[in-house]
Amino acid sequence: MRRTVTTLADGRELIYFDEPDASGAYPAERASVVDTRPLDPRPLASQLRYDPLLDEWVAIAAHRQTRIFLPSSDECPLCPSTPAHASEVPAASYDVAVFENRFPSFSDNPAEADLATDAQITPLTPVRPGGGRCEVVCFTSEHTTSFAELSPARARTVLDAQADRTAALSARDDVEQVFCFENRGVEIGVTLHHPHGQIYGYPFVTPRTRTMLDSAVRYAAAHNGANLFGDILAAERASGERVVLADDHWTAYVPAAARWPFEVHVVPHRQVPDLPALTHPERDAFAGLYLRLLRAFDGLFSVPMPYISAWYQAPVRSARELAWLHLQLFSIRRAAGKLKYLAGSESAMGVFINDVRPEEAAKMLREALR
């Protein structure tokens, strides 16, 4: 894989990850293709406001109201540029491309003067700039495809790009956790149809990660230092009832207390904190297993499955000895033509009510494998 770094017209970073062809040759040098668009200046950093009731930070990013929403295919900002349309990727073609989001939730662009670190809205609501970084990962230059239709080699390139960016963002002083994810389907809220994912470099450890790690701390204290993530994996493998797929390196299973109608956790058999720590055999194995899993999701109801695919990585500076890298893949579709909406209990109280038994979901997914 060849990695090429360049910049867009407004100074944002763009990185190409190119694969060699059958002869081992790479495409023409990407950095020579210049972005000539007359772009507006980058937006200022968002505002972080602290919620004392939940002990969480909330990002206020008003500039995102103007982001592009479901453009036509000939105006897609993620397709390669053409003479008729200049996109976010100046090259005429690419394998995998990563660039700073034009409408970021978090960024290192200087914030307004009134967002100083010691600012506050009330004595209980401190405010600070929303530092960090948001990036877009384009999986392919082909507009009318999906991750499930990628080759194993391309899926591996995407994983390598995510690992590369995780390492780079983890080295930043303003990033505490790196989150790689894909939203797929308008039902999920996707605003661009082109196959792509995103990477967030959060300036704090996310609430869900803190909850899981707190549970792991309590479990270790009560079980002679045992690892909660590892013991859950061992229990699911021993049961087998909810296992959908497994190989020498990974197990994909429906968790016993799944919140979503179709939810699968993909866990490496070896405890690693993040994507950069995966070996080459582990990365190769994941690419093949994950593609089969995505195709099973699409095969459940013979329609493209809306889903969120989310990598849980260790925080950059804390609890790395407890964390265990894993991917959560879930869909809000509960049946053909039916979606699960987060209504009163889930949205207001955080209490999930699942309409599909996890054991039945696992059985359906195994039957849909191909």
What tens digit of pLDDT does each residue of 323-349 get?
999 999 999 999 999 999 999 999 999
Class of domain 2-206: alpha beta
pLDDT at 36 > cutoff 50:
yes
Q: Which of 41-45, 209-213, 225-229 has the lowest mean pLDDT?
A: 41-45
Residue 63 appears among annotated catalytic residues: no
The whole-chain average pLDDT of the chain stands at 95
Full-model pTM: 0.96
> What pLDDT, on a 0 to 100 scale, did the predictor assign at position 30?
83
Q: Is the pLDDT of residue 190 over 90?
A: yes
Question: What integer pLDDT is reported at residue 113 of this predicted model?
Answer: 44
Higher pLDDT, 115 or 326: 326
Q: What is the mean pLDDT of residues 364-368?
A: 98
Identify the helix (H) or strand (E) that includes residue 125: strand 125-130
Residue 262 is classified by DSSP as: E
Average pLDDT rounded to a whole number, residues 112-128: 73
Out of 143, 193, 194, 196, which one is annotated catalytic?
196
Q: What percent of the chain has pLDDT over 90?
A: 91
Tokens read off for 149:
């239709």
Provide mean pLDDT across the span 190-213. 97
Count other C-beta atoms under 10 Å from residue 277's C-beta. 18
Write out the residue limits of the CATH 3.30.428.10 domain(s) in the chain.
2-206, 208-368
117 has pLDDT over 80: no
Q: Which amino acid, one-letter code, is at 219?
A: Y
Which pLDDT does position 370 carry in this prediction?
81
Is the CATH number 3.40.50.170 carried by domain 208-368? no
The mean pLDDT of 54-60, rounded to a whole number, is: 96
Q: Which long-range contacts (CB under 8 A, 24 or more apart) does 243-250 make?
A: 243/362, 244/293, 244/296, 244/362, 244/365, 244/366, 244/369, 245/289, 245/292, 245/293, 245/369, 247/285, 247/288, 247/289, 248/285, 249/281, 249/282, 249/285, 249/286, 250/282, 250/285, 250/286, 250/289
Position 17 pLDDT exceeds 60 = yes
pLDDT of residue 114: 45
